[in-house]
Amino acid sequence: MNVTVKRSRYYNFLKRILLQDPKHIQLLILPGLGGDHRMAHSQLSLPYDSITPDYIPFEKNESLVDYTRRFCDSLLKSHKLDLTRPHFIAGYSLGSAIGMEIARIVPVTGLILIGGPMKSSEIKFIPRIFGKYVCWWLPLWVYRAAEIFVAPVMRMVSGISEHEIRLAGVMYHELARGLFREGYRALVEWNGCPIDVPYIRIHGDKDQIIKSPKPDKHIFLIRKSKHLVGQARPKEVNDIILNFIEGVMSRNA
């Protein structure tokens, strides 16, 4: 057997060993609107090398596409992304859209969209109209004053635990100035983009923000769950993510 063949077999063997180690896989988890890295705490039990960055501030009237380029540049400059390894992105709500746009900029092995739209028209009528015609002209003090309503409203409509509700209030309080307003506006103006990598969508079937898509091979609906499905039903969501990543990696091996 010649040296070239031996070396090729060795490298293939090494590749198989690496692919079998979940820690070799990097999982970028992006928060939803109003959240930060703490939003991902329920998914940190997944056996991957997870990174959970906070968003950089939006610029006024910045498009989601332009924002994503700047955000992706910041991740690359910070060396948080290791593009030499298999790399998956999981995004909640707004994070789904940003994840789709990142996949157009850097190599991505797979996408996990959790309660997120694939284009702004999938946002339900009232939230979409508010984002398109109201949110952008409200002064920032209104968003700060609205902080007192976060917990009461979430108790009524979110379906998440009291711990998650308190965490949501803290994250909103500490959110960068203007990020909620500009992020909301940018999302409702976003027209979507093609996906050229393996992907899945995970939604609550009672989502009050995003129109629940019809189930197919890419779509998993979790019964009796609303928009914050990653926080309300972490075990089911984590099992779906595990199965998806394992399936993609086995096909790539």
pLDDT at residue 213 is higher than 90: no
> Average pLDDT, stretch 99-104?
98
Give the span between the Cα atoms of 148 and 21, in whole angstroms: 45
pLDDT in tens, 232-243: 999 999 999 999
- Quote the pLDDT of residue 252: 82
- Quote the pLDDT of residue 13: 43
Give the span between the Cα atoms of 8 and 15, in whole angstroms: 11
pLDDT at residue 17 is higher than 50: no
> Average pLDDT, stretch 97-115?
97
pTM over 0.85: yes
pLDDT in tens, 148-167: 999 999 998 899 999 999 99
Q: Band the pLDDT of 14: cuts 50, 70, 90.
A: very low
Give the residue among 103, 85, 110, 91 at the shortest CA–CA distance from 23: 85
Give the span between the Cα atoms of 93 and 90, in whole angstroms: 10
Task: Check: CB of residue 164 under 8 Å from CB of residue 157.
Answer: no
Buried b (16+ CB within 10 A) or exposed e, 101-135: bbbbeeebbbbbbbbbbbebeebeeebbeebeeeb
pLDDT at residue 107 is higher than 80: yes
- Quote the pLDDT of residue 96: 98
Task: Check: CB of residue 55 under 8 Å from CB of residue 39.
Answer: no
Task: Check: CB of residue 103 under 8 Å from CB of residue 88.
Answer: no
Decide: residue 86, CB within 10 A, 0-12 exposed, 13-18 middle, 19+ buried: buried
List the domain range (segments joined by +) for residue 227.
3-252
16 versus 61: the higher-pLDDT residue is 61
Number of domains comprising the chain = 1
CATH, residue 111: 3.40.50.1820
> For the packed helices 162-173 and 147-157, what is the interaxial angle rounded to 10 degrees?
150
pLDDT in tens, 112-129: 999 999 999 999 999 999
Residue-averaged pLDDT of the chain: 91
> Average pLDDT, stretch 42-53?
96
pLDDT at residue 94 is higher than 90: yes
Strands 87-92 and 110-114: what pairing?
A: parallel
pLDDT at residue 26 is higher than 80: yes
Give the span between the Cα atoms of 232 and 126, in whole angstroms: 23
